[in-house]
Amino acid sequence: MSTKSILAAVFLISLGIIFGVVLVSSFKGIDFSFAGEDVKLGAQQAPIKPNSTLQALNDAFHAVSKSVTPSVVFVQVEMDQQSDSQDDGNQFFHRFFGPDFKFDMPKRGPEVGAGSGVIIAANGYILTNNHVVTSAKKNGIKVQLSDTREYKAKLIGTDKYTDLAVIKIDADNLPVATLGNSDEVEVGHIVFAIGAPLGLKSTMTQGIVSALGRNIGIIDNEKSGYGIENFIQTDAAVNPGNSGGPLVNINGEVVGINSAIATTNARYQGYSFAIPLNLAKQVATDIIKYGKFRRGFLGIMIKPVDAVTAKAAGLDKAKGVWVENVTKDAAGDKAGVEYGDIILTVDGKEVNSPQELQTTVASKHPGSIVTLEIWRDKKIGEKKAELGSRDEEGETITEKVKNDKGESDSESDAEKVVTVKELGVSVKSIDSKIKKRYEVEKGVMVSDIEDMSPAQDRGLKKGDVVTEVGGQKVSTPDQFESLVKKLKPGDAVMLRVKGEDKKMRFVPIEMPK
């Protein structure tokens, strides 16, 4: 074969190979590039333009975090060895500071726990929970700022009845949180919880306000009646370690101090509770100025007003709080408040639950004058009360009257018993010994209560003495029966009752339909 033929064959074969490679590359996506050239990853087209509403929400959330997070601190506390439980009497609700969130330490040695706090003054004052720091050893509180600087903290003061405390670090020019108005918080508002859940510092979560004015019975374990629980309930995710950290609104303002969760496993299960900021500000101010919270007191015992109570009192709907007892010579008594009154407003602000009234009154100092709008005898009246202090009235309010067990409650043969089947209650006459023991002039004694009856449901108890029905005094069982049976189905009436503790109370009761 000639040289020309060989060259022609090689040329044609090479051309065929090149053509084949090009053809294959058009189907297989082969990319020819030189060694060292940049690798191209991801889509080359421009991203979609974000929705303006989502972009605004994204920017707003980031702005809140950027504004507030620098003022939130991590609080570490060294404590003496304690028992495993801090939630006596109510295991469904847990404070975020333990019992589970503690670092492992040798037995019989100190325990170290962690919580959160928020800087409220540039010179080092920090607001947190009482239960975070109350068991700290001397010099056992350490604070870490968001920029990782660490300081020893001094305990300035605590108030266990609001679960709040103030600590201080030796520093200046600190980033300070903006404090908002918790009275403006409404159900449905977007809120953020910022703190150190499970030790994860500077963590922010988001949710909504799911309820207001919650009383979950976790602060006042000793049942003194002084605990103030008017929690803001949210579904922002919080966990052990969030305690003492801020609850923040969309303006970056602190509106609450996170304090407890509803859970069956000591971890977040959907609901958390924060102390309203307006109360927290008052407590913190007093602790800084006076070393303790100077809380105003009316010296009354109160209950919620339900539909039956409202009907019996002549109100058009359930509102206000019902005065169940008034302490003699306390602020309420001096102002003319009487048991059976329904307090509708305090200084023009509606109070529709005991915790709302407690929070409103406690936010004022002893000596302050408050105006009470009261519903009595189906009319609205006004009383002005000069608030007392807990130190003056504490023993009186919590004093328990011992019941004289020396006399028998047994019914004599001469006593008459009448049963009102509609209410499920039986009453009997009382003799002079019972009158003397209960300190009453007239009345009838509840001798029996039927289970699941309207009487039991409304709180009547065996041994109670009923002195009035609908404002009319009763002396005999027949008189009691006559007054009650005048009621039509659906009607309600107020019973004035004295229990074995010698405390007078009112019991609203409705005739079944």
Q: Which residues are tagged catalytic?
A: 131, 163, 243
Q: Which amino acid is at 481?
A: E
Rg of the chain (C-alpha set): 34
Is the peptide bond between 47 and the residue preceding it cis, with omega within 30 degrees of 0? no
Distances (CA, A) of 68 to 86, 151, 194, 336: 30, 20, 8, 47
Look at residue 164 and give its three-state secondary structure.
Answer: strand
CB-CB contact of 422 with 400 (8 Å): no
61-92 core/surface letters (b: 16 or more CB in 10 A; e: else): eeebbebbbbbbbbbbbbbeeeeeebbeeeee
Say which residue the tokens 């011992």 belong to: 402
CB-CB contact of 303 with 506 (8 Å): no
Residues in CB range of 296: below 8 A, 6 or more apart: 331, 361, 362, 363, 364, 365, 366, 367, 368, 370, 387, 388, 389
The dihedrals phi and psi of 460, each to the nearest 5 degrees, come to -70, 145
CA dihedral 189, 194, 200, 202 (to 10 degrees): 130
